[in-house]
Structure 1
Amino acid sequence: MQLQPFDMSERWLFPTVLLCIYGFFTNLRPSEPFLTAFLMGPDKNLTETEVVNEIYPLWTYSYLVLLFPVFLATDYLCYKPVLIVQAISFIVTYAMLLKARGVLAMQIMECFFGLATATEVAYYSYIYSVVEPAQYQRVTGFCRSVTLLGLAVGSLVGQLLVSLAQVRLLHLSTITLVSVCLAFVTPWCLPMPSKSLFFHQTEDDDPGEEAESVNHLNGKDLAAGPEDPGCKVPLNSSHPVLLRCPPKVPRTRERRRNGLIEVLKILWLDFKQCYSCWTLLAWSVWWALSTCGYFQVVNYVQALWEKVLPSQEVEIYNGYVETISTLLGALAAFVVGFVKVSWADWGELALCVFSVVIAVAVYVMDTVRNIWVCYTSYVVFRATYMLLITIATYQIAANLSMKRYALVFGVNTFVALLLQTILTVIVVDSAGLGLDIFPQFMIYASYFAAIAVIFLAAGLYKVVMRRRAYSQAQTEHGETETESESARGESPLSDE
């Protein structure tokens, strides 16, 4: 297969390049692998309890509170203003990390970082409003790849500066601030979209055509598998009630504007139809449950490493670990796209097996108090999760139009954050149990083990029901053949 040459005249290229530059520099954060060490070091002089139990939980709370309002605001404001808000939030976050001191200041910093994280929806949805559906797969691959590249390069640069140049952690925060300031320039140059998914629609928009085109990309290029037969109405169809505005909403010649009530009705109808599909529901449940646990482990793993081997005593290698885990996760996500597996049949059991792997990795991190074992377990944990979340993305996206794609992934993330908030309040927050880092990770390992049990039960149930249906079909087939033979045969009385 030959790659198509880039044509500078193509309209999709300019915004895609700008968005990739923005994504790279916002994720180029050399200070991230050393954040806990920096906060607990001489520059900030915070205790483990203050960092883990009082400061970090504020990111979870702010992210949850802001996610849905930002989702609606992103669509209403047509993405670009929200991208600018995200860039400003990153600047405020790292400026406060660099200059501010004290628990309250760091809590406010976490709230701004929660805003920056919540507005990521604008980054991943902007491009769909300015390019044609035929380019969705290509630009999605570019945007997602460049964010992973930025994370990997940032972690590697941070580690090299610490290990080889003996750069202070404070200076890594300065470099991160410079990086997000460079990113701030990019959104201003992006073209302003003339439409959005829900609030702003032009008269020329044909939702059915778009859904068909997107389904062709998602269903055939991203996932090899039939549409779920359990769905009564195909989720990739252009159902007039779900994809078009209600008839009472007037159209102008150039643009129609959906009100908030109409948008919420459309979202609710889409929500009910999407989650009535068993396969999509199963993968979404795993998505929400596992993402909750993933966020918890990634947020607090540096505190675990700091407890196992304090950075004030020896040199740490957090940057190398983050780089390797990111690249291996990206490689696993790439390779799985070429693996031919009937996920519709074996998906639940596969999720069970890999959830066991994740649970064991977290358990080993918690019980084996060796930094190299902790590093290795973390790499296994993160690569396994990224592999599974890619499979889940493929399976969910295979039968969804772009509108439902944004809705389902947004709902899954919201549920994950809701569960994470509950877990944080009970386990981490000083207002709850306020547990030490080692008991926390034992709970996280048990949490993933519980996920494995749930999907083991679901997988076994599916196998049993499949065999029962097969046996019943065989029995009915045998009875049909017997009746057919009897109908063709002659009665014994006729011979006499």
Structure 2
Amino acid sequence: MEAVRRWRSDWRYPTALLCSYGFFSTVKPLEPFLIPYLTGPDKNLTTEQVNNQIFPVWTYSYLCVLVPVFLLTDWLRYKPVVVFQCAMLVITTALLLWTESVAAMQVMQFFYGMVTASDVAYFSYIYSAVDLKRYRKATSYSRTVHLLGYTVGSVLGQLSVSFNLMSYKNILTFTLVLTAIALLTSLLLPMPQRSMFFHQRRSGQKTAAEETKGRRDGTVGATEHSSKSKTSLEEVRRERAEGGEMRNDAEKGLEGKRPVAEEVDESVVAQSCSQVVLQLWRDFRQCYSSRELLYWSVWWALATCGYNQTVNYVQVLWDHVQPSQNFSIYNGGVEAVSNLLSAASAYSVGFTEVRWEQWGELALGGFSGLGAVALFLMTFIGNIWVCYCGYIIFKCLYMLLITIAMYQIAAGLSMERYALVFGANNFGALALQTIITSIVVDSGGLGLAIIPQFTIYASYFLAISVVFSLRGLYSVWRVRRNKKEATLPDSEEPPDSEEHGFEIQATKL
């Protein structure tokens, strides 16, 4: 029993459970073949219905629930939202399996929008469940397993379709079993005791320096847990100082143990909703006060919008170039290869010695231009293998650049509000994506066919490339000019007299 208790208190326990949940919830063998399934004999839907009436619902629902889910994630402390995400995934899979009409598929897309909006809980949970010094490993494990799940799902789907191992409905049934396992795993996750805004370390509204000091001062002793609900914060601090020097887990490194929650009234230690909103706004303004960070965030929002549109509708393009009902398709293999190469390209960023603050914006422009070229080739060549290769190149380039952007933004933040900045960038991308979807894709707007759609997406990335290439060239020129001005006086001898100082100034002029 002692060994079990030590294992449950170790940082590996929540990490292993979260990775298990991430794996089983992302193994989706049918996802690369969703268009053939919906337009085939199982559902008998047309490509126009899927493209212009069903898929846009996901974008709208995602936008509507993203902000509420973000706040609920923090208020409920992550785990309930993770469980909710998996429950919505079960409903999505069941609707996809047992319903057929356009309206039912639209409802399915609405539930799937809630699933994707809840991803913020999955990627944020680990930071409240493990110690600070374990962040890097825990993040690496959870993200790697997440990508591995998609890769395994794509491979299983391709093998099942190519060798007729299972029908589409049997694949969905298998997915439903895996999702049920993920739901059970989510229920076993330990409940975090803190969050970013609503449930901090029971210290009211503290600054980051005060929170750090509080972690060093120790936690509340066992005799102080019966504090009255009207006890003031000053009395709590005084009692903490008198209650002995119990070391904190963050200082001691007790492998993930968390302090017991103090029984202090929520009106004293918790922030109200209005205070949280005000704090959010203050943090938001401070985080985006850096002009360089703002440029990276703008690229993030613009590129993510175009990437989501491309990934969402690329199967429609593939089905247009080579109809799935008449030819063998390899969508699953392409997705698996693109995921693996994307992971490799993102991983390589950590081993690339480049001054991204100088060359980063130029890289954003140049690689975005290559992505635009890949999209143009996919659109106009009309060969399925060109489409597959173009998609792999496009996805790898995006994953490479978004990794650089995440690193630069995280390195440039003046405060630890990564989830806030990343969430705001994704919200901006989703808002722009909603506008594009309602105008270009939705049957209530232009309702364009797939070739005009991808022409717009390719042109969109070309515009991003031009803007950031120009901005990158300006940044390189400015850095070199500043460096030249900074090194010029260093080459001169220090002025020993007033006359020599005047000579140096005259030389500058």
Partner of residue 450, structure 1: 463
- The answer to whether residue 329 in structure 2 is matched with residue 330 in structure 1 is no
Partner of residue 317, structure 1: 330
Q: 1:340 to 1:470 in 2, by over 3 A?
A: closer
- Partner Cα separation in structure 1 for residue 491 and residue 101 of structure 2: 77
- Partner Cα separation in structure 1 for residue 26 and residue 351 of structure 2: 28
| Superposed displacement of residue 480, structure 1 | 9.9
Partner of residue 313, structure 2: 300
| Superposed displacement of residue 485, structure 1 | 6.9
TM-score of the superposed pair, with normalisation by structure 1: 0.85
Q: 1:119 to 1:403 in 2, by over 3 A?
A: farther
Question: What per-residue deviation string (whole Å, max 9, x for no partner) do you get for residues 239-261 of structure 1?
Answer: xxxxxxxxxx9649525211111
Partner of residue 208, structure 1: 208
- Partner Cα separation in structure 2 for residue 373 and residue 211 of structure 1: 54
Deviates more, 1:182-191 or 1:402-411: 402-411
Which letter maps to 1:208? Answer: A
The answer to whether the 8 Å contact 2:49/2:102 transfers is yes
Which of 476, 479, 482 is 1:469 aligned to?
482
The answer to whether the 8 Å contact 2:79/2:121 transfers is yes
Partner of residue 105, structure 2: 106
The answer to whether the 8 Å contact 1:133/1:210 transfers is no
Partner of residue 281, structure 2: 268
Q: 1:78 to 1:372 in 2, by over 3 A?
A: same
| Superposed displacement of residue 80, structure 1 | 1.0
Which letter maps to 2:123? Answer: Y
Structure 2: tracts of 5 or more residues without a match: 1-5, 214-230, 237-261, 504-509
- Partner Cα separation in structure 2 for residue 296 and residue 370 of structure 1: 21
- Partner Cα separation in structure 1 for residue 421 and residue 176 of structure 2: 33
Partner of residue 150, structure 2: 151
Q: 1:171 to 1:401 in 2, by over 3 A?
A: farther
Partner of residue 419, structure 1: 432
Partner of residue 398, structure 2: 385
- Partner Cα separation in structure 1 for residue 212 and residue 375 of structure 2: 42
Which letter maps to 1:430? Answer: S
- Partner Cα separation in structure 1 for residue 487 and residue 18 of structure 2: 56
Deviates more, 1:353-362 or 1:278-287: 278-287
| Superposed displacement of residue 323, structure 1 | 0.1
- The answer to whether residue 499 in structure 2 is matched with residue 486 in structure 1 is yes
1:249-260 paired onto structure 2 within 5 Å: 251=233, 253=236, 254=262, 256-260=269-273
Deviates more, 1:186-195 or 1:363-372: 186-195
Partner of residue 228, structure 1: none
- Partner Cα separation in structure 1 for residue 501 and residue 38 of structure 2: 86
| Secondary structure of 1:398's aligned partner | helix
Partner of residue 188, structure 2: 189
The answer to whether the 8 Å contact 1:211/1:401 transfers is no
| Superposed displacement of residue 382, structure 1 | 0.7
| Superposed displacement of residue 187, structure 1 | 1.3
Q: 1:488 to 1:202 in 2, by over 3 A?
A: closer
Q: Percent identity?
A: 53
| Superposed displacement of residue 481, structure 1 | 7.2
Question: What per-residue deviation string (whole Å, max 9, x for no partner) do you get for residues 199-237 of structure 1?
Answer: 012347986369989xxxxxxxxxxxxxxxxxxxxxxxx
The answer to whether the 8 Å contact 1:211/1:402 transfers is no
Q: 1:68 to 1:9 in 2, by over 3 A?
A: closer
Q: 1:487 to 1:395 in 2, by over 3 A?
A: closer
| Superposed displacement of residue 132, structure 1 | 0.9
Which letter maps to 1:112? Answer: F
| Superposed displacement of residue 466, structure 1 | 3.0
- The answer to whether residue 435 in structure 2 is matched with residue 436 in structure 1 is no
The answer to whether the 8 Å contact 1:197/1:403 transfers is no
- Partner Cα separation in structure 2 for residue 356 and residue 484 of structure 1: 55
Partner of residue 138, structure 1: 137
Partner of residue 247, structure 2: none
The answer to whether the 8 Å contact 1:23/1:143 transfers is yes
Partner of residue 53, structure 1: 52
- Partner Cα separation in structure 2 for residue 166 and residue 20 of structure 1: 28
Which letter maps to 2:458? Answer: A
| Superposed displacement of residue 436, structure 1 | 0.3
- Partner Cα separation in structure 2 for residue 199 and residue 127 of structure 1: 17
1:49-128 paired onto structure 2 within 5 Å: 49-128=48-127
Which letter maps to 1:134? Answer: K
| Secondary structure of 1:56's aligned partner | helix
Partner of residue 242, structure 2: none
- Partner Cα separation in structure 1 for residue 415 and residue 29 of structure 2: 34
- Partner Cα separation in structure 2 for residue 463 and residue 25 of structure 1: 45
- The answer to whether residue 408 in structure 2 is matched with residue 409 in structure 1 is no
Question: What per-residue deviation string (whole Å, max 9, x for no partner) do you get for residues 117-164 of structure 1?
Answer: 101111111111121111111111111000000000000001001112
Which letter maps to 1:68? Answer: V
Q: 1:36 to 1:161 in 2, by over 3 A?
A: same
| Superposed displacement of residue 182, structure 1 | 1.2
TM-score of the superposed pair, with normalisation by structure 2: 0.83
Partner of residue 369, structure 1: 382
Which letter maps to 1:341? Answer: V
Aligned alpha-carbon RMSD (Å): 2.5
Partner of residue 290, structure 1: 303
Question: What per-residue deviation string (whole Å, max 9, x for no partner) do you get for residues 329-359 of structure 1?
Answer: 0011111110000000111111111001110
- Partner Cα separation in structure 1 for residue 9 and residue 21 of structure 2: 20
| Secondary structure of 2:200's aligned partner | strand
Partner of residue 27, structure 2: 28
Which letter maps to 1:78? Answer: R
